[in-house]
């Protein structure tokens, strides 16, 4: 595949795919109302489009039970600024409709509807990467791509494998994944995503000034970032999720054939079917905590 840096318009032209957390159960109790968040997001998108008429912005909604494209500036920018504003207005209404529909579908399917429900960021990242690959193959020149994830809900351990596959795919395509956390919990998955792909991870202290954070940190193109002192993550949570119970673990058992991770000893790997030799295996849960 042709690398992302071989056929660009210029150093400061960007393709930004924004993945927005539309988890209805998170926004129902969030400190920042969704209407205010949407206002900050629209101002941020407008600022990106004002930086260059060649900039391209796409918004993907990630809900509990579904994810979908809601805005594409490439479909609205040909006829002028008025069409972009109108399309953004339609995207705002579509986001609100998606939240309501997601809440109905989640309750109807019997899914646990609480503040801890995770959004489908694995599917949204896949959609983002597919869109970027389509742009790569659409012509001889394209903007410089990056992904911005705006997450509020907690991670879903059951999505660990799918999220990591997306992260390594983005790394191979040289697509940075930026992260802006608007919830109370840090995201171990997105910390790893930003660290591995060379993106920026940030959790704003004052959500009332969210637009200032977005404009000052995430609106900068990749070329300009080499001259700026952007926020750096103090520590990255590299813990993995086990394949058997989908729980985040500190220590576990790893299959020597396919590298699947398990929190308890198994005689046979449930992923590749390899049988393990019958040796005396200690119970990791009974070992004393040796972390300093």
CA distance 127 to 168: 15
- H helices of the chain, in order, are 24-27, 34-51, 81-108, 121-136, 160-172, 188-197, 210-213, 222-225
If you search the block for the tokens 């790569």, which residue do you land on? 136
The torsion angles phi and psi of 144, rounded to 5 degrees, stand at -85, 120
| Model pLDDT, residue 247 | 76
Q: Where in the chain is the domain with CATH 3.40.50.410?
A: 9-226
pLDDT averaged per 10 residues, the chain (length 292): 52 89 90 92 92 91 90 70 68 83 73 67 95 86 91 87 92 95 91 94 93 93 88 78 77 81 82 73 56 44
Contact 157, 247 (CB under 8 A): yes
Which among 61, 59, 63 has a CA at the least distance from the CA of 75?
Answer: 59
CA distance 213 to 234: 18
| Model pLDDT, residue 291 | 47
The alpha carbon of 289 is separated from its chain's Cα centroid by a whole number of angstroms, namely 32
The torsion angles phi and psi of 125, rounded to 5 degrees, stand at -65, -35
For domain 9-226, give the fold. Answer: Rossmann fold (3.40.50)
| Model pLDDT, residue 77 | 54
Instruction: Write down the pTM of the prediction.
Output: 0.81
If you search the block for the tokens 């054939």, which residue do you land on? 257
CA distance 52 to 271: 48
CA distance 115 to 154: 9
If you search the block for the tokens 């879903």, which residue do you land on? 156
CA distance 258 to 288: 28
């Amino acid at each position: 595949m042709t690398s992302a840096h071989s056929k660009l318009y210029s150093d400061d032209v960007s393709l930004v795919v924004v993945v927005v957390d539309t988890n209805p159960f998170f926004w129902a109790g969030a400190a920042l109302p969704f209407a205010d968040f949407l206002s900050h997001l629209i101002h941020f998108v407008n600022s990106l489009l004002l930086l260059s008429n060649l900039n391209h912005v796409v918004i993907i909604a990630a809900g509990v039970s579904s994810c979908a494209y809601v805005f594409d500036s490439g479909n609205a920018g040909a006829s002028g600024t008025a069409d972009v504003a109108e399309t953004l207005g339609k995207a705002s209404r579509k986001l609100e409709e998606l939240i309501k529909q997601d809440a109905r579908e989640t309750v109807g399917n019997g899914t646990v509807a609480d503040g801890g429900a995770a959004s489908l960021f694995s599917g949204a990242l896949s959609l983002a990467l597919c869109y970027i690959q389509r742009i790569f193959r659409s012509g001889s020149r394209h903007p410089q791509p990056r992904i911005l994830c705006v997450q509020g809900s907690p991670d879903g351990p059951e999505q660990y494998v799918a999220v990591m596959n997306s992260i390594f795919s983005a790394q191979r395509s040289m697509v940075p994944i930026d992260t802006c956390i608007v919830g109370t919990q840090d995201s171990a998955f997105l910390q790893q995503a930003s660290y591995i792909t060379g993106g920026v991870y940030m959790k704003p202290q004052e959500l009332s000034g969210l637009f200032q954070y977005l404009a000052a940190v995430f609106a900068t193109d990749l070329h300009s970032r080499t001259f700026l002192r952007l926020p750096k993550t103090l520590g990255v949570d590299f813990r993995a999720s086990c394949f058997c119970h989908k729980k985040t673990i500190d220590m576990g058992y790893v299959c020597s054939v396919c590298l699947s991770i398990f929190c308890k000893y198994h005689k046979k790997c449930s992923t590749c079917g390899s049988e393990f030799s019958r040796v005396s295996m200690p119970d990791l849960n009974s070992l004393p905590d040796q972390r300093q």
